[in-house]
Amino acid sequence: MNAATFFKLALACGILVAGVEIGWLVIAPLPYDVSGYMIGRDFVPTWVGAKAAVGGNPAQYFGYEAFNALLQSYFGPDYPPHNWSYPPHLLLFTWPLAFLPYMAAYVAYCALGFALYLAVVSDGERRLDHLALLALAPAVTLNIWTGQNGFLTASLLIGGLTQLDRRPLLSGVLFGLLSIKPQLGFLLPLMLVLTGRWRVIAAAAVTIAALAGLAGLVFGPRIWADYFEIAMAVQKRITTEWRGFSITNMPTAFMNLQLIGLPTRWSYGFQAIVSSATLAAVVWVFWRPRDPVLSLAFFVSATFLFTPYAFNYDMVAFGWVMLKLMDRPDNDVWDYALMVTVWVLPFATILIGLAGIPGSFLPILSLTVRLAWRIRRAETYETTSQFVRPALQP
- At 82-131, the pLDDT tens digits run 888 889 999 999 999 999 999 999 999 999 999 999 999 988 777 888 89
First to last CA, the chain: 37
Alpha-carbon distance values, 253 to 236, 357, 364 (Å): 17, 12, 10
333-380: per-residue pLDDT in tens? 999 999 999 999 999 999 998 988 899 999 999 999 999 999 998 876
> What residue type is 205 in one-letter code?
A
Asked whether the beta carbons of 356 and 297 are under 8 A apart, the reply is: no
Average pLDDT on 240-245 reads 67
Please tell me which residue, 39 or 365, carries the higher pLDDT value. 365
**Predicted local distance difference test score (pLDDT) of residue 243:** 64
Q: Report the share of the chain in percent with pLDDT over 90.
A: 61
Three-state DSSP class for residue 167: coil
CB contact set of 344 (below 8 Å; sequence gap of 6+): 13, 17, 138
**Predicted local distance difference test score (pLDDT) of residue 379:** 76
pTM, full prediction:
0.91
Is residue 47 over pLDDT 90?
yes
Is residue 280 over pLDDT 60?
yes
